[in-house]
Structure formats: structure tokens, C-alpha cells
Structure 1
Amino acid sequence: MSSHLSPALVRSAHVRMSGVHLSFGGRPVLAGVDLVAAAGDRVAVVGENGRGKTTLLRVLAGDLPVDLGEVHRAGSVGVADQQIPLGPTDTVGALIDLELSAVRSALTSLDKAADALTDGRPGTDDAYAAALAEAEALDAWDADRRVEVSLAALNAVDDRTRPLGALSVGQRHRVRLACLLGAGHPVLLLDEPTNHLDADGLDHLTERLRAHRGVVVLVSHDRALLTDVATTVVDLDPSSDGRPRAYGGGYTAYVQARRAERARWEALHTEQVAEQQRLADDLSAAQNRLRDNWRPAKGHGKHTRATRAPGLVRAVHRRQEELSTHAVTIPPPPTRFAMPELPEHHSATLLRATDVSVAERLARPVDVALDSRDRLVVTGPNGAGKSTLLAVLAGDLEPDTGTVTRARSVRVGRLGQESDLPGHRTAVELYDARSGVHGPALDELGLLDSYDRHRPVAELSVGARRRLDLALVLATRPHVLLLDEPTNHLSATLVDELTAALTSTPAAVVIATHDRQLLRDTESWPHLAL
């Protein structure tokens, strides 16, 4: 599929950040970020949750002023963030019109300029030429058709009279993404665009982004999308000098370069720690000699001891100075996920669902039986009933047909797609209330840093809330884990660690996902296609 952007617009499209710093409440979020992207560049912004990825997109969009540094943009900007800009009573058509407002404005300006030109008003030639160039740049006449194509490809609602409140969260996001893919913006800023997409939608998004001839800046946990699309990677995680890094060559090259850089950093740190220990030992030895030589020893004159003392004092001072100036560049330890030890239930069958269905949500009757250490991947297009099935298995939704039986005292934990936590309570308060005597302390899981653990939930990033949701599911040490799109909003590193932990836990594990990399990583598990 060829890009619909005009050559002139493509050449002018670019974004640039130089030395950008931004803090919230005195806490640095972005520190010395440099980013340059021109037409044809597809920049992936990566980093652990809370590193400022979404903040960086908001800065590029012009929604946030920076404390220090420069930000430049050229070309109209389309933004797909994690908040829908309209309310539940607004319609699908209103959302389409809002996202195509630049197109609508360009066509309106062209009509007015054409009327003025037809009326023979003086000085209208230049105004008409400018309006025509703007409409051509956006290929405005074809925008609605492009949106319709993407609505179909993303399995999104195309009835423009439908209220947004009648749609699921995923449906609303797919409508908005379809609008942005069709709007003709030369600069696209996309925050987790793969959430709520099925396999066909992922293929369509990948194809459109690869064909986009303008600039794409992308935040995503989807490792397969980053591998297929990214030309450059900006890593916001800490580095040896504390500054973000930019890597060329695509996502695979970034992973290799980052791993090698981390190994060099850790080796240097080990050498520095060893050198610091050597200097500390030398200082201790010099101090001991100084103390020993100030003690009068038999057979030695006071003069000899006195003349040796200044040299020893100087040696001690010299080693003290070397020790104090020999700073160790300690890498901030990356957050490592520590899966709690989940119990193995000794019942023959932990959970059994027989011929369960839910009207209009899970049409085909489904059978599932789970024992300890069982694994299952549930797949299917959006609307097939994957989330519904997990809710039925968890006991959160009663089936219209069929039965669900659970073993005595079995604990079931379900991670839903969306977070619904009270915003006024802190993460640690919620976790402690949930875990009781069952689970480890929140800090032992390695999911949230100390700063986030003690903040109200309303102040947490989407990624941090997702980590908290996962922590709350693990808090009761369930015998059965039901995970609905578990990779949503999580960093690639955490996803890899979580995947490895799920492979070895004695709990039964059911995953519903569209994540292509996760599907590859679990291809040996039994699959249930809905």
C-alpha cells in the first residue's frame, strides 16, 4: 500500500527534541532527551514503566511545556494516546469528525477560496493556491474512504450514529486508530496502538506504518511490532552516564547493542568496586601502621619513630583522597520481576467448565478443564469471547448455559484488560489489604519502585497501574491464573521475565492474547481457538 502523503509534505515532516528536561513535583521524568526524526523515520520509544514514554509523546504533541531544552515539529500531528477525547454520549461519527478536523478544515478553506476566485475578488489567486496545496498535502478528498478501509481492517464499529458509551473500550480505541491511520497527518504519535487489536488488525497497522512516508514516533510493548516497524530506538532507561540513548538499525540491533552496553557497564562497575576495595584495604593498612608506629617499641628511639610518622600520615591522607575521589558508577539496578511461589493444589481437577456460553458474547459452547501446572492459550478475533470466557472461569460472570465447578478452597486470580482501582488509595495500601497472610510484601515482587508504591493510584502511569493490577492478582497466591492480554502496557523486559515465570509456576495458567511475540513464546502450550 503506497502512502497517500504528498511529496512536498513528506519532505517537510520532521520532529526534533534537543536536551529536553522535564520534572513533575521535583521528580525528573525526562532528563537530557535528544530525538531527531525526518520523513521515513519510525522511532520506537522504549523503557520501563514510569520512565516518561507517554510524557515524551505529550511533549512532542505540544501538550506539555518542557523545563529545559528545545522541541520542534513540522507538519500536522495525529496523536493516539490512551484517553479518548469525547464522552459517552458522543457518537462514532463525532469522533471521526474530530480526528479528521484538519481534513474538514482544509476542504472548507478550499471551498471558500474557490468561491472567492470564482467571484473574481482581487488577491484570491494566492489564497486559492495555498488552500489547494494544503488539501492536496492531506489528500483530503480521500480521507473518509481511508478511514472506512481502516475501520473494516481493524474490526471497528462503522455505524456513525452509535454512542461511544455503547462501545467497549477496545472498540472506541479501534475507531480512533482507524481515524488516525486515514487522516493524512505527516506526523503520527502513537501510544500503545496495538492494545485491543486482533491478528488482522495488527497486520493492517503494521502495513500502514511501514508504508507511512512521514514520521512515526511509537510507544509500544509489542515486540513483534517494534521488530517489524522501528528504524530507530530511543531508550529512556538509565545508562552509564544517566542519559537516554538512541540506537539505529531497528529493534533487533537495539536489543543486541543494549545487551552489550549493559555488559560493559556492569564489568566496569565490578572493576571499580574491586579498585575501591583495594584502596580501602590500603587505607586500613596505612592507618594500622600509623597506629603501630606511634606506640613506643622496645629497642627503638623516639627520634626514629617521630621521623617516620609524617610519612605514614601523608600515606594515610593520600589513600583517603584516592578513596574519596574514586567514585563508583553504580548502575541503577533494573527492576526485576520476582514471581511469588504459587502453591500447587492437590485436587485432581482445579476448575472445570462444561458447555459454557454467554448470549451475544460467547456464542459457541466451550469446555475447559484445568489441573495444577496446566497451560492454555485462548485465541480468536475481537468479539469471539476470550475475555468473557476468562470472566466465566473466574466466577465473575454467570454463563447462560453450561456449568463451572471449582475444587474446594481453590483460589483463582484474574487479570482483566482494564484497570478499575480506587484512585485515592496508595498501591501498598491496596496490596496489603488484598494479600493478607498469603502473599509476599509488594516490594519483593519488583513490580513497582518505592516512589510509586506510596503514591495514590490516580497519580500512577497506565503502565504502573497495570503492574499494580498484576501484583494484586498475585497477592492471594492463586492456584489458577487467568490473564487477559497480560502484556498490555508492560515493558518488553518485564514481559520476558513474566513469560519465563509463567512457564515454571505450579499454578494452572490461562492466557488470552493477540500479542504475536507472546504467542510465539507459548507456541508449545495447548491452544483453544474461539
Structure 2
Amino acid sequence: MPTITLPRRARAQLGAIDVHIARGGHPVLQGVDLTVAPGSRIGVVGENGRGKSTLLHVLAGSLEPDSGSVRRFGSFGVAEQETAVTPGRTVGDLVDLELVDAHAALRAVDDSAASLAEDRPGTAGAYAEALDIAEQLDAWDADRRVDTALEALGAVTDRSRPLSEMSVGQRYRVRLAALLGAQHDFLLLDEPTNHLDATGLEYLTQQLRQTRSGIVLVSHDRALLSDVATSILDLDPSRGGRPRRYGGGYAGYREGRRAEYARWVDEYGRQQAESTRLAGDLEDARDRLLTGWRPGKGTGKHQRATRAPALVRSVHRRQEALDEHVITTPVPPLRFSMPALGAELDRLEPDVALLHAEDVTVAGRLGRPVSLAVAAGSRLTVTGPNGAGKSTLLAVLAQDIAPTTGVLTVDPVVRVALLAQESSPPAGTRVRDAYDAHLGMLVSSGAVPDAEVVQLEELGLFAEADLDKRVRDLSMGQQRRLDLAMVLATRPHVLLLDEPTNHLSITLVDELTDALGATDAAVVLATHDRQLRRDVDRWRQLELGT
């Protein structure tokens, strides 16, 4: 019988103990302790670049920590943000990869049944063992479970379809469906909602809430975290320098994080004040020692001779006690700052469209004719299931794709910029150099006047230490931040956003949402992010059909 990894169910174990990882001399993970039990659902959050995806790799066993240990017992399913494409591989190959144990168990049942029918000696025990393993894996129903998930997630169901012909999102949905059907002991999911529409999101949420698997979920999706996570591991800096785990689900994390940071700032302030007082006391005691200070008459001779040195020693002891419990400086969170956009178009009449699309279609991508007008300062949300043409429509409005039929008219003075779903291939240049080169191109071409140039540091998207990183070394979330910075550098009058919250941290998503409501630029938004759609539910809606 082939080697088959059986689910361990209640006996499954996954835990990390004091895990540390550094890259290029910079810490990525520091002192991570985590225990995942079957049935637990742990959300992992933190600013972009804090090591969330790295933690999943460590838990999965594909990356060894620099120090610390990880214990694993059971079967594991991992959904990374991107699925590598091997030439010639198909949808069926990707499904078979997750169902390898179930398929092997069914073959073992068939083989032992054939041997039993031939009345070979010792085959009855082999057949009973094969049946037991197949039942533990629920192997007979595995392919049906995957097929159901493929349909519900809007994934490609043709198992002969080559992966190379599919988009990143299509491949991710296939992988996710296969994982849900495999019923592993543990699911390690990296941004699983990025490529799902409303129907897929509802199905995923339901499956994660019902599964017996232990789940570690890296996500920016506030609605998913609220609906699924029973606890949250926060990788952002804390008072002790280690990640903090919060109970009470997403709501407990939000409240706990605010309270924790407030205590950190308060205790640091009180310690700094005490340190200042001790420095003053030490200076005063030393002055007394140098000037030969003595207490007043009536004090014992020995006491009079030693009082000043004793004061110095006392202050030193108090300072040493303070140093033993030093509180690190609170790390100020990044604060996104949207530059002023669109205000100079106030001279245009309010009812004059900045851009106007009339009955536009794109062959094979946007079948039904779409008409819309975008006025200065207007807000529009484009909705519809995967495949309806939302990304294509935004690309047409950005003049990146020419419509097959219909007409697009853009006012000559209007600057239009699109934040697309996927980043350009990462380069070897440094972050600040890549941004400055882009800025230089905009200015030299006359697209952006010198007076309207926005420096990268002004946007609050990167910590100073990250500006000298090479783009290829950034996390996907940090690459997404750079994409956003490049778009804002154009100072657009019309801002087109295609799934803008993908890969971004929760804090930045909140700040970006507020900024979109306040900017003078016109905004056209396509998103499946349920919380973002709730936040912009008063915007004008354009529903695209399939």
C-alpha cells in the first residue's frame, strides 16, 4: 500500500515556539509563539512587511526559522498568494496535488478488492485496512467536494484547462477549491478573498466557519476576520517587542490593540518622566558631594560624613531598577496622507463630464455595452460577479484598452490614473529610486507640473528603512503600496481603483477609505471587499452583468 498521510483530527498539532527570522540584517519575525488546535480559527494581521506570509511558510515547513522551533502533526493545506505555473500543468493536476492521499486510498481499495476477488492469501486484512484509510479520508466524496467548491468560488471547472492560460485569480480559486475539498487538519490561507466575488466570499466564509480544520488566516478583509476569526495574532510592534494574541475575535483585537497602545504610550511617558527626575536627583547629589555638603548640626558624625555619597548610591540603585524594566519607545504607526487631488478643476461646470463612455464593449471581455459619465468630484462603484468585465471597463476608462465598439471621450485637461489589480514585475531598483524615476518621467513629459510633485515620504506609505529596499524584496502588500504611490504621483483628477484593498494592511485600508470619501478627485471603484462596499454604500452604483 502506498504511503498515505492520514488526517489526525483531534490529535493534530501545530505550534510555533519563540520563532525568529531576519532578512538582510533586519528582523522579520521576532519571538512568535503560536498554538493552533483543530477547529481554532486564528487571524494574522499587521502592517505590510511584518512577516505575515513568512509566518505561514514557517508553519507549513517550507521555511526554517533562524531560531525557535515548529511542531507539526497532521495534514496541511497551504494557499499562497500566487500559484507557480509549471508548463503543461492543468486544473486537474492542481486538484490531484491536494487529493493525492484520497486518490491513493481509492486505488488501494480497488487493488485489494481485486486481490480479494482472486482469493489471494492475506488479502482480507489488506482490504480491511484500505477501507479504513479511505473512510478516514472520506475519499469517495473528495472529488465531489472539490467540484462543489469550484462552482461556488467561480473557478474553472474544466480539469483539462492549462493553468498557463488562466489569470492569477483563476488559478488561486482552483487551488482554494481543492484545499477546501481535501479537508486537511490545518489550512494556512494567505489573502484568500483577493480573487473572490460576493458569491465566492459567502461560500468561503461558510466553509471556514464549519470546517473541523485548524485555520491560520492572513487577511486584510475586515468582514472575513469578523465573521471567521476566533482570535487574532498581531505582528505589529508591542511593548515587549513580541507579537500579541487577542481573544474575542476581530472586535476584541481592535479594542485590545487600541488599549494596549494607549498603555504603552502612557507607561513610556511615565518612565521617561521618572528617568528625568532621577537624572536631576543624581546631579543634585553629586553637587552636594563635590561641595562637601553636610547635614545640619545634631546629626551623628558618621552620618554627616556619608550622607552625600549615600544619596548618590541611592539614585544609582533607583536608576538601575528603572533600567531593568525599561519600556521600548512606542513605534509610531504609519499614517497615510492623501495628496490634494482634483481641486484645480473647480473651474469646470459641475455638470460637465471629465470623461464619458458611450456604449463601449471589448470583444471577449466586456460583452454588454456600457455607458457612463464621470463628473468632477463624483463617486461611482462598479459591481458584478467575476467575469462581468469590471477590470476591463476600468482599463477602457484609463485608455489602456481601446473599446471594440462605442466611444470614450476624455476632457484634454483631465488626468486619469488606474490602480490595477496586479503589480508590474518587481524590479531590482530601490523603492525610492523607482518612485523618483517615475516622478521624473511625469514631470519631463509635462503630465504633472513641478508645483504639483508629491514626494514619496509625504504619503506615509513606507517606513524610512523600507525606502532603500529593492522592489523585488518587498512583500506583496508593500508592492501594492508602491503601486498606489505611483498612481497618486500623477495627481489624477479621476482616480480609478480596481480592488484597491487587496494585500494592504487593515490600518491602511481604513485610512484609504476615509481619504476616498474626502478627496476632490472623482473616484471610480471596483471591489468585492464587503466592508469597503458597506462603507461606500451611498455612492452611485453601476452593476455589470455576466
TM-score (norm 2): 0.87
Contact 1:88/1:166 (8 A) holds in 2: no
One of 425, 429, 432 as aligned partner of 2:429: 425
Match of 1:484 in 2: 498
- 1:201 has 2:215 as partner: no
Can you list the C-alpha shifts for 1:257-307, whole angstroms capped at 9, x where unaligned? 22211221121122223333334455566678889x69xxxxxxxxxxxx9
Match of 1:70 in 2: 69
Match of 2:396 in 1: 392
Q: RMSD across aligned C-alpha pairs, in angstroms? A: 2.7
Match of 2:447 in 1: none
For residue 161 of structure 1, report the CA deviation from its aligned partner. 2.1
For residue 340 of structure 1, report the CA deviation from its aligned partner. 2.1
- 1:249 has 2:244 as partner: no
Structure 2 distance, partners of 1:316, 1:445, is 49
Match of 1:345, SS state, is helix
Distance 1:282 1:92, change over 3 A: same
Match of 1:511, SS state, is strand
Matches within 5 A, 1:58-207: 58-87=57-86, 89-119=88-118, 127-207=126-206
Structure 1 distance, partners of 2:472, 2:132, is 45
For residue 58 of structure 1, report the CA deviation from its aligned partner. 0.9
Can you list the C-alpha shifts for 1:104-160, whole angstroms capped at 9, x where unaligned? 222223333444555555555554444333322221111111111111111111112
Can you list the C-alpha shifts for 1:409-431, whole angstroms capped at 9, x where unaligned? 32222111011144222211111
Matches within 5 A, 1:220-299: 220-282=219-281
Structure 1 distance, partners of 2:486, 2:207, is 37
One of 376, 383, 386 as aligned partner of 1:382: 386
For residue 204 of structure 1, report the CA deviation from its aligned partner. 0.6
1:190 aligned partner, one-letter code: L
Contact 1:434/1:476 (8 A) holds in 2: no
1:389 aligned partner, one-letter code: L
1:414 aligned partner, one-letter code: L
- 1:513 has 2:527 as partner: yes
1:475 aligned partner, one-letter code: A
**What residue ranges of structure 2 are gaps of 5+ in the alignment?**
1-5, 293-302, 441-449
Structure 1 distance, partners of 2:312, 2:395, is 69
For residue 165 of structure 1, report the CA deviation from its aligned partner. 2.1
Matches within 5 A, 1:416-495: 416-436=420-440, 437=450, 438-495=452-509
For residue 83 of structure 1, report the CA deviation from its aligned partner. 2.4
1:512 aligned partner, one-letter code: A
For residue 313 of structure 1, report the CA deviation from its aligned partner. 7.7
Structure 2 distance, partners of 1:263, 1:452, is 26
Match of 1:219 in 2: 218
Matches within 5 A, 1:4-83: 9-83=8-82
Structure 1 distance, partners of 2:318, 2:453, is 46
TM-score (norm 1): 0.89
Structure 2 distance, partners of 1:474, 1:251, is 31
Contact 1:421/1:457 (8 A) holds in 2: no
Structure 1 distance, partners of 2:41, 2:471, is 33
Structure 1 distance, partners of 2:327, 2:71, is 37
Contact 1:377/1:512 (8 A) holds in 2: yes
For residue 23 of structure 1, report the CA deviation from its aligned partner. 2.2
Contact 2:142/2:182 (8 A) holds in 1: yes
2:503 aligned partner, one-letter code: H
Distance 1:434 1:283, change over 3 A: farther
Can you list the C-alpha shifts for 1:424-461, whole angstroms capped at 9, x where unaligned? 22211111112234433223322122333212221111
Structure 1 distance, partners of 2:110, 2:286, is 88
Can you list the C-alpha shifts for 1:339-379, whole angstroms capped at 9, x where unaligned? 22324232333222222221221222222222332111111
Structure 2 distance, partners of 1:345, 1:127, is 79
Structure 2 distance, partners of 1:168, 1:37, is 32
Percent of residue pairs identical: 57
One of 370, 373, 378 as aligned partner of 2:377: 373
Distance 1:280 1:503, change over 3 A: farther
Distance 1:26 1:109, change over 3 A: farther
Match of 2:300 in 1: none
For residue 469 of structure 1, report the CA deviation from its aligned partner. 0.9
Contact 1:46/1:234 (8 A) holds in 2: yes
Distance 1:280 1:360, change over 3 A: same
Contact 2:417/2:487 (8 A) holds in 1: yes
1:483 aligned partner, one-letter code: L
Match of 1:45, SS state, is strand
Structure 2 distance, partners of 1:169, 1:31, is 31
For residue 485 of structure 1, report the CA deviation from its aligned partner. 0.3
